[in-house]
Each structure stands twice: as structure tokens, then as C-alpha cells.
Amino acid sequence: MIDFIIVGNGLAGICFAETALQNNKSILVFDDDSHSSSKIAAGLYNPVVLKRFSEVWKAKEQLQIAFPLYEAIAEKLNFTFDHKMPIYRKLASIEEQNNWFQASDNINLASFLSPNLIEGKLPNVKSSFGFGEVLKTGFLDIASLIDNYSKYLKSNNIYTTGRFEYDKIEFNDSFMEYKNVQAKHIIFAEGYGLHLNPFFNDLPLDGTKGELLIIKAPNLNVKVVLKSNIFLLPLGNCLYKVGATYNWKDKTNIPTEEGKNELLNNLNDLIDCDYEVVKHFAGVRPTVKDRRPLVGSHYKYKNAYVLNGLGTRGVMLGPFLALQLYNNIIHGTPLDKEIDINRIYKKRNIN
């Protein structure tokens, strides 16, 4: 009997798998190809809500857990996927400059926001009021992480692919069985694929479609992430990732002309050099209506768990949530009430 079956090999599934392995637990990962949003995600991590210059929920705790986990994975795989890079937030007015200075004096934000504005240093970038620099930021190459981690799992015979058949699960008091595999616990980390899961598809996972572009701009010599009403992320070789749109109605992974035009209009407001669009892609983020993740055990099948709803901040949230869930299962440590799915069950009077 193994300790964990993990369904889903996107960012959430990888974080839980690695947390379990670091604690000498046995796992089997089912890659059901439900992690489309992880594959197309920008992978940015940023401890500040840049719309209103406020700290991300539990940002310091998240970073303290995330960096060691990612460093351990990188060392194990002998592969670099965490790229440290400052974010320059475009300031739109004198008022925003003043708000930035005020925020950088805040004790909770001082370690994340530089008090010095960036002005006149970015050729071919439009900005009349300069940029504020965000610290302790960067991005993960999530697509390459998934690919390399899958190879690692496969080489250790703890990885399988194919559609997961929920009706083949048999639950018992102290374990569950899926086909010929017995496990103490099963973790569903399926992203937007949760809608097909009969055990957890009643949770309020909304899903927000995002579209992104890859552009080639030989004259745009930018080596930081730019953030205005879009982000521009340098990938090397004159390539940049541009995103992202937010569509709450369309739940497909199909790129649209409407989304492309929205991104190009915003891009033209940010840069003034020639470029060409190399690629256009889309995915559905696993978002939740109350903007908090979905973590915890099923109200009836206590050894079935969900790890979902990472939304747009999955890089920071993933390791934090994985550790919370692991400690809850193994040590009985209560989950943070803001992420525990019991908040939803209680509203429905389900125990």
C-alpha cells in the first residue's frame, strides 16, 4: 500500500508530490492532462498586489516555503527553472508615484518595494511617470518544470498517464483502492479539470480564461518584467511573453481574435518599436469566487482530498498549500480557515 495517489501533474500536483517525497512518503502520480493552465501560465511570482500596492495574502509565509521547495527540485533535476527578475510597475500619474512612495514606507511592504523610481532607462518603452521596482520577484518556466518532473517520476516508476476513471475508486475506512492500487489517501490536483470530478465538482471553482502572446522584438532590449495593464516578460533571443486577458464566460482553451487585439492594443500603449507575433495561446485558470483556494477533505470520503484554486498566484501558493494539506493529513494540523473547503460545506450545512 502506498501513501498517496496524486491526480494531476500541474504545479499543484508537483508541489504536493515533492512535499510527500521529501518526507519519505510513497506516491503514484496520475497525469490526466488536466493542467493546461499550468502549461501556458506566465509563471510570475510577485508578493505585491500591484493594482493597489498592497501585500499579497500571507506573502512572506508563501515565499519562505516556495523558494526552498523549488531550489530542492532544481537541484534534484539538475535543471534551472526559477529565474529571478525584478518587476517594473508602470506608474500612470503623479498620484500613483505618491502612492508608491507611501506604500514603500509601509512596514509590511518595505522589503518588497524599492523607494527609488526608475526613470528614463528603458528605450522603446513608453512611460511619462517612470516605474516602481518590485523586489523578490521572478518567474518559473512551468512548462519545462512539468516536462522534467514528469520524466523524473517516470524514471522512478511512480507516474502514469491517461484519463482517470473516478467510478473505479473504492473507498474504505482507512484506505482507498483504484484498480489494482491501494493507497491511504488520494489527492485531486486537477485544476479546471475538477469540473469532471464527481467528488468535488460541486465546489465553486469558476475558471477564468487567459490569453497570451509570444512576440519577437529585436529592438526592445528589456531585461526585467514590465507591468502595466498587461505584463511583458523577457524570454531571451528577442522573445517576450505578453499577457494576459481575463474572460469569465469563455471556458475553452481556444485563442480568440478579440483576446489578441486586446493584448496588442495594450502592448502598443507600452512599447513603441517594431515586433511580430510569434505565438498566441490560451488556457483556463482555476479561480474561485471568493478568491481563496480550495483545500481539504471530502465531507463523506475522508481520505479523498482536493488541492485546487491556485488562480493567478499559483507559483507562490502551490508550495504553501501543499505543505498545509500534507501537515493536515499526516499530523492533523488544522488548515487555514480561509482555504479550507469546510467554509463551503458549512454554508450548505454539510458535515
Asked whether the beta carbons of 13 and 191 are under 8 A apart, the reply is no
Of 279, 304, 298, 291, nearest in space to 341 by CA: 298
C-alpha–C-alpha distance, residues 314 and 319, integer Å: 9
Structural domains of the chain, with CATH: 2-46+142-205+289-347 (3.50.50.60), 85-138+207-285 (3.30.9.10)
Q: Which of 17-21, 74-78, 214-218, 286-290 has the lowest mean pLDDT?
A: 286-290
Give the model confidence (pLDDT) of 14-34 as tens digits.
999 999 999 999 999 999 765
C-alpha–C-alpha distance, residues 68 and 58, integer Å: 17
Give the model confidence (pLDDT) of 140-169 as tens digits.
999 999 999 999 999 999 999 988 999 999
CA angle 84, 88, 91 (to 5 degrees): 165
pTM for the model stands at 0.93
C-alpha–C-alpha distance, residues 118 and 115, integer Å: 10
Give the model confidence (pLDDT) of 162-202 as tens digits.
889 999 999 998 999 999 999 999 999 999 889 899 999 99
Of 230, 242, 236, nearest in space to 218 by CA: 236
C-alpha–C-alpha distance, residues 104 and 281, integer Å: 35
What is the end-to-end Cα distance of the chain in Å, rounded? 28
Give the model confidence (pLDDT) of 225-272 as tens digits.
999 999 999 999 999 999 999 998 998 889 999 999 999 999 999 999
137 in helix, strand or coil?
A: coil
